Amino acid sequence: MASEQPLAAVTCTAPVNIAVIKYWGKRDEELVLPINSSLSVTLHQDQLKTTTTAVISKDFTEDRIWLNSREEDVGQPRLQACLREIRRLARKRRNAWDGDPLSSSLSCKVHVASVNNFPTAAGLASSAAGYACLAYTLARVYGVESDLSEVARRGSGSACRSLYGGFVEWQMGEQTDGKDSVARQVAPESHWPELRVLILVVSAEKKLTGSTVGMRASVETSPLLRFRAEAVVPARMAEMTRCIRERDFPGFAQLTMKDSNQFHATCLDTFPPISYLNAVSWRIIHLVHRFNAHHGDTKVAYTFDAGPNAVIFTLDDTVAEFVAAVRHSFPPGSNGDAFLKGLQVRPAPLSAELQAALAMEPTTPGGVKYIIATQVGPGPQILDAPSAHLLGPDGLPKPAA
């Protein structure tokens, strides 16, 4: 028997975001409500994105999901929370519109396929892009037009920040039901065109302590984390917002580094302690401070999430020289040609003075595996071309071309 055409098929992309004021710790595990507000920069999807297709059809007998071409367990709690929330919103909208609580799409099962254009294992924020993309795509399939912060947040807290481009704050909110814990854009992606982002991929190993487990341990055992959330972050959120609005790079850069360092200090203050940075991470930190000291100005900033990879912020006029400094201190391994990915960076010489100021013996090759050069980018996008769909009309992954 010929299968019916699917009722709806939608494909969207969503970006990775990097927090400059860090989120660490939940006050409500189930609703994924944070103990402090956070602020992030959305990275450009030309370099880093998740693409997701969702298809609903009367023919499907169960919800199914494929991640990077492998079928995954659709029953995992966070995925279920997203699906439940989006269907609840769809039902609410239907009731308001036509009083038909089970109009066609709501009684259908959904098939979802998702791929990242960057290695998931590289420790880049794949869950944020993934759940933002899932929420955005499901919303399009089910005709939901309300704020999707809650849907994305249920999957991964920081995912709500990937629902917008540019510079985004996640307001912690105060209500116990989390209705006011939402993401809001602070400035659009066009606001600071000179800003550049370099991701220094240090390690692709799986981390010893996952974020969810680490956060829980910190909330339970770190007095420093509580002090940070209550006494430090509110003023930093206001200051970071000012630096972004005024395009004050030195202010933005210093606060970004201080906040990253404080986040890692709360990890060390957790009992037993958690350490996400490795020896290469620390060398990058020293490299940045020496580079800035040599220039007598804050020209480069680092930030680290729950892993050893460095995310570097700088302005377009400094990118080439800093990349040269990284190449000097961390000679590429065998992949010299593929060491720099993403945006083009013209090769620049490293002056003898800067080389002397860095005072760093080059490490054995391969300490930094590669660099991704990118910039601030937009929020989720809808791909209209049917060829973009990851699932065929039968609701199964298309064979790889």
The answer to whether residues 141 and 7 touch, using CB atoms and an 8 Å cutoff, is no
Q: Which residue has the tokens 């490299």?
A: 287
Q: For residue 338, what pLDDT band results from cuts at 50, 70 and 90?
A: confident
Residue 294: give the domain boundaries.
195-375
Q: Are residues 21 and 89 in the same domain?
A: yes
- Evaluate whether residue 393 is within a structural domain: no
pLDDT digits (tens, 9 = 90+) for 383-396: 999 999 999 989 99
Q: Residues near 334 by Cβ (< 8 Å), separated by ≥ 6?
A: 365, 366
The answer to whether residues 58 and 7 touch, using CB atoms and an 8 Å cutoff, is yes
Q: Are residues 59 and 175 in the same domain?
A: yes
- Evaluate whether residue 1 is within a structural domain: no
Q: Are residues 168 and 235 in the same domain?
A: no
The answer to whether residues 202 and 280 touch, using CB atoms and an 8 Å cutoff, is yes
Res 241 pLDDT > 60: yes
Q: Are residues 215 and 319 in the same domain?
A: yes
Q: How far is CA 354 from CA 69, 252, 360, in A?
A: 46, 24, 11
Task: Report the candidate in 394, 392, 395, 399 with the shortest Cα–Cα distance to residue 2.
Answer: 394
pLDDT digits (tens, 9 = 90+) for 43-78: 999 999 999 999 999 999 999 999 999 999 999 999
How far, in Å, CA of 168 to CA of 186, rounded?
Answer: 5
- Evaluate whether residue 3 is within a structural domain: no
How far, in Å, CA of 351 to CA of 295, rounded?
Answer: 12
Lowest mean pLDDT among 93-102, 182-191, 230-239: 93-102
pLDDT at position 316: 98
pTM (2 d.p.): 0.94
Q: Are residues 223 and 371 in the same domain?
A: yes
Q: Are residues 294 and 168 in the same domain?
A: no
pLDDT digits (tens, 9 = 90+) for 343-394: 999 999 999 999 999 988 878 888 999 999 999 999 999 999 999 999 998 9
> Considering its fold, how many domains does the chain have in total?
2
pLDDT digits (tens, 9 = 90+) for 288-300: 999 999 999 999 9
Q: What is the CATH number of the domain that holds 97?
A: 3.30.230.10
Q: What is the CATH number of the domain that holds 284?
A: 3.30.70.890
